[in-house]
Amino acid sequence: MNLILLGGPGSGKGTQAGLLEKKLGIVHISTGELFRENIQNETELGLLAKSYIDRGDLVPDGVTVDMVRARLANDTHLEGVVFDGFPRTINQADALRELLAEKDWEIDAVLHIVVSEAEIVRRLSGRLICSKCQQTYHKEFNPFRYCPTNSCEGQFLYQREDDKPETVRARIHVYQDQTAPLIEYYKDRDLLINIDGEGNVEEVFGLILKALEISAGM
C-alpha cells in the first residue's frame, strides 16, 4: 500500500506516518527528515536545504524530487511507502506519479489531516525533538519521561530552528499557498480522505485506520 500524508506544519503527519509504518509494514519516507539528516551530516544538499528550511520556505522541487528518487532506489524490497511531507507542490505530485509508475505502483490513498491554525501554533511552539533518535515530544502535552531506545536521558532534545514563531507563520503561509492546492488535485483523482486531526495521537490514528479499512476494502 502506498499512502501520502498531507497536512499543514504540526498536523501530526510524522507521528501518524511512524505508526502506519509499524502497523502496515511499509516504509516511512519523510523529506523533512531526509533534509535534517543531510544538514546534520553537513552534506552539500544539507547546506543548500538549510538556507530554505530556516526561512520556512520550500526546498526547490528538482532537488527534493531527486532526493526522493534516490531514497526509493535505495530500497530494493519495498512493500509500500507512506510519504510524509512529500509531495508539497503540484510539480512534486506529478513527479511522484512518474516515479511510482516506473515501479508499476500508484498511490492508494491521500490522508489529509485537518487541524486548525490555532492548534498548529500551540503544538509547534512546544515541540521538542531528540537529535539522536528523532523521537518527537512536546513541552506540555508529551514531555520526555524515558527514552524509547534506552540511549539517552533527554539531553539531546532541541527545538527545531523552523519551529520558532516567525518561521511557523511563514510555513503556514507557504502551506496555504503551495501545498493546499494538492487537496483539490487529489480530490479530483478520488484519492483524498479527510481526517480530523484535532484529537490526540491515538484518536487520530484510529480515524486513519478506520478510513483505510473502508477505502482499501479490508
List all residues 6 or more positions away from 141 whose beta carbon is below 8 Å from its beta carbon.
Answer: 123, 126
Q: Is 136 left (phi over 0), alpha (psi -120 to 50) or beta?
A: beta
> Given 13, 36, 50, 123, which residue is catalytic?
13
Across the strands, what pairs with 7?
A: none
Across the strands, what pairs with 29?
A: 83
- Interface with ligand AMP (CB under 6 A): 9, 31-32, 35, 52-53, 56-59, 64, 85-86, 88, 92, 162, 171
Q: Is 145 a catalytic residue?
A: no
User: In this structure, what are the phi and psi dihedrals at residue 115, rounded to the nearest 5 degrees?
Assistant: -140, 140
Minimal distance, residue 76 CB to ligand AMP, in Å? 23
Minimal distance, residue 174 CB to ligand AMP, in Å? 7
Minimal distance, residue 94 CB to ligand AMP, in Å? 13
On whether the CB atoms of residues 135 and 145 are closer than 8 A, the answer is no
On whether the CB atoms of residues 29 and 91 are closer than 8 A, the answer is no
Q: Is 160 a catalytic residue?
A: yes
166, with CB counted inside 10 A (0-12, 13-18, 19+), is exposed
> Given 36, 50, 123, 127, which residue is catalytic?
127
Query: What is the spatial distance between Cα 143 and Cα 130, in angstroms, rounded to a whole number?
Result: 12
Q: Which is nearer to ligand AMP, 35 or 185 (CB)?
A: 35
Here the cell at position 116 is 486548525
Q: Which is nearer to ligand AMP, 56 or 197 (CB)?
A: 56
User: In this structure, what are the phi and psi dihedrals at residue 149, rounded to the nearest 5 degrees?
Assistant: -105, 10
Q: Is 171 a catalytic residue?
A: yes
Q: Which is nearer to ligand AMP, 32 or 197 (CB)?
A: 32
Minimal distance, residue 27 CB to ligand AMP, in Å? 16
Q: Which is nearer to ligand AMP, 47 or 214 (CB)?
A: 47
> Given 69, 97, 160, 187, which residue is catalytic?
160
Query: What is the spatial distance between Cα 59 and Cα 56, in angstroms, rounded to a whole number?
Result: 9
Query: What is the spatial distance between Cα 195 and Cα 203, in angstroms, rounded to a whole number?
Result: 10
Q: Which is nearer to ligand AMP, 12 or 193 (CB)?
A: 12
Minimal distance, residue 218 CB to ligand AMP, in Å? 28
Residue nearest to ligand AMP (CB): 32
Q: Is 55 a catalytic residue?
A: no
Return the active site residues: 13, 88, 127, 160, 171
